[in-house]
Structure formats: C-alpha cells, structure tokens
A and B are shown apart, each in its own frame.
Chain A
C-alpha cells in the first residue's frame, strides 16, 4: 500500500515544491507592493515607507505570514535539493550527446541553477536589509510621537554610490538575481499548477500566459526600483 509519510513519495515532494513556490509568488506580490513605495519615498522623506516597514515587522498577522515565508523558502530550498539529488541518481551515466534544447525550454532544464542564483542573491539581500532592520543599528526616527526605524535611509544609502562604494556591484548582483528569478518563474509558475494537477483545456493557457506575464513583470519592476534609486542619487 501507499507509503505513509506524505513527503516520502515523489509526487508529494512536488506538491510541496508547488505549494511553497506559489506561496512565494504571493510573497513577491506583497514585497513588490511595498517596494514600489520607494519610487515616491523621497517626497515624504521615506515616512510612508518606514511606517509600512514597521507595520510589516510588528503586526501579528503579518508576522505569521513572514514565518510562513521563511518556512517556504527553506522548504522550497531543501525539497529542491533533495529532488535534484534524486534526479541525478536516477541517471548515473550521462549521454555522450544530448540535444535537450529540441524538446524542452532552457529555464525548465535549469531550475536548480536559477534557484541557486536566486538563493545567493537572497542571502546578500537579507544580509543588507533584513538583518539590518532586525539586528543592525538603524537610526530611529520620530513620527507623531512614535519611534520608527528609518529603513528608508538605509536603503537609500545602500544604493547611493557616494555612500556605498559597493553600490554598483550590489546593483549588478541585484539585477542578476532578478534575472534568475524571472527565468525561475518563467517555468515555475505554471509548473506549480501542473504539479498539483490544475490543468484544464480551457484554463491552462490562461495560467501559462499569466505565469509568463508575472515572470517578466515582477523582476522588471523590482529592478526598476533599484535602478531608479541609483540614478536619482547618482
């Protein structure tokens, strides 16, 4: 009969990949919505952005979501590595000649590579901002009697070539990360639906188009914000 632990079967691992991946897509939407405030943040000295950051780090429901996000990232990562190792083991001898490009898209064949680049980016990204916000020394700012961490200044300074001599390489890495994310999503978004069996002659095309739009739009907007920050301060 069927194996007991749900994660033991190959399909269950794929469900987990799909569910965590699609959840992280939701996270991306939220994160992007927050970051878009940076485009107008200079006008109010970053107040709206800082208040939003405070809300995001303190409001209980958001807290729950954020732990879910950490969990999803870790699970997606570990699960992905386990799947990849199993896949490698499933073909111990490689082909001398392979023409994989004739039957499958590049991104679908390189999810591990793309995921790894996103991961590297993620680590530096969290070190630069998340760590600063939570454990670093961030100046406090007073809004109507309420003391709030001035994350905006940290962000602005990070992308200011005069205040951070690593700003340009950091932006390079950021863009690379977004690039990888885009390709990761190009396959991952619709793949997630397929993995949980959500496929239908009428809707699959819509999901596929939505996925492609998502995978272009989200990284482009994230990148645009960073480039904007850099250009306006350079």
Chain B
C-alpha cells in the first residue's frame, strides 16, 4: 500500500473567481491548453464507457490525445447508462415556459437539498443546452412533435418542461450516440478499446496517477497500462445494497481502489431510493426493476387503513379491488395535500417505508404498497366518452375507453409489470416498493473534476459533484454527458500542459510492479481460499445490513451496529468464501468476489459518513433529526459541507475532511410539500 498523506490536505475546490454566470467562460479562457502536436504525445486512460466514459474518451481522442478506454462488459455499449428511461434535462426553453440556465441551476440546487457546489451546478446547467445540440447532430432520435421539432415533457418537482426524451429509452439512445462517437475514434486508431477488462488498481508515481493495473477478464492476464492521466467514469455503487435497480456488474471497485490510493470519497452515504419499483418477490431475487416515475402522474398510492384487511390481502382471502374507498389510506395525499402523489422521490419513498414499517405492507413480505390506476382509468374513460359523444356510458364502457387511454400513455410500462409479476395492472392495482437507484456520493473532485490524486479525474456518477443530497429526475444523463463532452476535455488540459515533455510513461517501474504483485497475490488468495460459501451469499447479507441500517432511514445506534456487522462479515468472507475456477480463464465468480469485497469496505464507510452527518437532508434521513410531523430536519449551521473521507487502512477509521459549501446566489430554504 502506498503511503497516506500524514496531514489533512486542505480541500481546495479551485472554483474560479468572478460572477457565477461567468465562471466557466472565464475559466475556459484562462486555463492552459496543450497544442495539437503535443496532444499526440500524451496518453489518457478512461475507465468505464457509460455516458461519461464514452463521451470523455471520444472527445479526448477528437482533440488529439491518445486514449485507452476500458470496460468490463463485452462491449462499451452495455454500460448501465443504457437503462435510464425518463429523459435528459436541458435549459433550452423550447416550450417557451420561462426556463433558463438559472432556473435549471436553481432547481438542481434546491432538489439537492442545498448540499451541492453552486459553481459546478451552474456550469452543468450552462452546458446542458449543448448536450442536446450535440446529440441531435450525432443522430440521436429524440421524440419530436408533428411539426418536426423536439418534444419535451415535465419531470418530478419542477415547473417547466425541459426534459428531452426518446420514448422510455433515453439512456439507451444517448449511450448509443456516445458509443458511436467512441467507435468513430476507435476506427481512427485514436482510442484503443479494451473490452472485458477490469481495473484492478490505480498506479501512483511521485504523487501523480500514472496508470492502472487491469485484468483481461477473458484470459485472466494482468496488464500494466501507463498514461499521463487517468479518468474514472465507473458509475455508482448502488449494488452495495445487493438489490437495486443497478446492473449486476455495476460496482465501486475502480473508485474504491483510487480511494485506497489516496483519493477522497465524498458524501458516500447520499443514496437515492426510487419510490416506484417492483417489490422483492423471493430470496433469489437478483435485481429490482424500476417503473418510470411518470406513473405517479396518474396513479394513486395507498395501503389499507385496517390491519384486518392487510392480513386478508396477505393470505389471499381478499382482493385489493374489494376494499372500499373508506377503508383505504391514500397516505401521500393525506400527508402532503399540496403535492399528493407527486412529492419528490425521497419523500415518497420514506412515506412508503413508514406505512410498511407500521405493518400495512400489502404483500407477504410486508414490503409493498399499491399504485392504483382505477380512478385514472375511470377519469380518462369519462372524458373519452364525452369526446366520442357516447350518452350515458356503462361502467364497462368507461373502463374500456379509459384503459385504452392509459395503454397509449403507459402501455410499455404496464406490459413490463405484467411480464415480471404476471398481474394485470389494468384490472388490479400494481404493487410497488422503493429501491436503491442512484448514489449521489462518489469520489471528491474539484471544479476541474480532478480528485485529490493529481492526474486522477472522475466523471459522471463516479464523482460526487453536482446532485448534492438528492438528484432530480432526468439529471443523471445530463451530468454524465456534460462531464464527458464539455467539461473534462477542457479542464484536463490544464493539468496535462505540464506533461508535454514527459514522454511515454514507463510501466517498468517499482510502483507498477508492486501494484501488479498485490493484484496477483489477492487473486491467488481468493482462488486458494478453503471456504464453502459462494460470493453472492456475502453480497446478499451485506445488502440486508445496508438496507436495514443505512437505507431509507438511519439512526446512530443502527449505523454503529452496521459497521460492526460489516467488519464481521468481511472477516468471515476472508475465511469462508469459495471462489471456484481458474485465474487464467473467463471466471465471473472471481470478478464478483473482488467487487463484493470492495463493496463491503465501502458499505462500512457509508455508515461512517451517515453517522457523522447529524442532520437529515435529501436521500439521507436520520431518525434523530426530524420534525414532529416526521419530516427531514436539515442543519445548515453545522452541516452545510461536503464530507470527504481519506482512507487510513480501515474504512471506519477514515479521516474526515470538510469542504464548506457557500451559497451566494440562492437562499437556503426548507423544502415543504405539504
């Protein structure tokens, strides 16, 4: 292990001087450039090929740098950005509803519960419009209106329509756009693509990131790759909860290895729990499926008022449709009359948990609530009957007409629900429950997206930068592409300007050799372990600890217990895990073992971070800090800061560094949805 900095490094976010609106332009005009001839002498490694990674690799290669890109999947096109359904925000004001860069900035800061950096968020809003232009130029087929212009929809918690979309597959279309830009550079030889390769360690030479150790997942070969800078675009770590809407392969390992080499982790406990997912159905469930947030526009969420009805539902003697209105508790409408079923994600999720914890969950596990379309179907049906001029329509006719309207709006989602659950959501309410969806925390980066290791950058979900304590819908895609296309390619030049005379980075150094040896030893240890228990078993248990103690609501006692439990789980893993197969073959169990171990360490740090944050904000809800009505209680005096953690050997003993957040352009308010 490399030596840790002995003293606390002051966290300098390097925010440029000047007015908020001018910072980015001034910064771009004043940072150093690398001339085209010199760019050819510089190598950059990009890890991960999601929206941030593909766009960064493509843009850097277009500029002239030599790029090596890595992904663990069989193709760069598979990254989990592809699964984003809803859309991408941009301050285009095409709908003429008064949108602006400032409004997008303000909504994002407020949505993040005032725990993000003003300058970064403003820049994000500023470049958002460029993203749409860029993607259209690439041939991304966004939804259009009949006039041929781009269509927009509105999205959770904002008052304008600024979300661009491609049916329910916006993430896929944007990723394919970035993937095609990346493919173009691969064909030119400017990017060398390494599919089915996993980052095993970051190599730091003389305090600077100078390369990585990677493992070829097909052959098992351990490879050294040198570069003048390393960019991590390795996504989020929601899989620490085992069950999440993340892909099976999503992991924290790249970021965690960097953390162990000296990069600070910021706000790791900020987790977004999405309220509308399909509930867990059994022990072997491997993943949770998200149902688009748009369903809350028309659906009503409820649980029974009476415990006897809950029992009857669970043992199958009662159907939800048999419960009369007066015995239903539309708890969101009851608690938040102003926003009703459309409260932000964190609020909706916590309210569902509150009801289920009180014993009103409607499935066998007691962890589901109803999302009911019956009244929407009836409402649409009556309107449609009027439109079609049907006098005194029967209830069947109304339902038939209403179902057709709902099918046109949400048909693909209803179909997906039926495919997974074998329930017909037109006839019976859907069962939903919150699930882990996105992690706002990540590697600490300054305004240039550089981590605390010089030469090591982080983009997209892998960094912590723009969403504060809670991310707005349709903003993840925006951030990934903003970082990759329009921010990092400029800011990295300022650092690389010092490297034009460095020459090729040699991998024949003690640092590379040492890192490679450590990787090899670890693999041998895992494969040679005389254990009995499969990796998934540990992952499942880690997930249960994290979900119970560091999930939708947290308290000091539970978090302390979780830290001890995770530490015990880790030592059990070391002793009892069984990793089958060989090191020189395609061996998914071995890959998984490494990732799960890193997730266990990360989980411990998340609990530590949640324990330190003595307030409730956004996705972080501490039971000790709530109003008498059970709403989140923020502490702007004591906690308007970013918590950045430095690794010291044991995650729970990480040292805490603060970046104080200053708000010069917005006023801090309490979010209220009542």
Direct contact of A and B (CB under 8 A): no
Spell out B's residues near A (CB within 8 Å): none
Spell out A's residues near B (CB within 8 Å): none
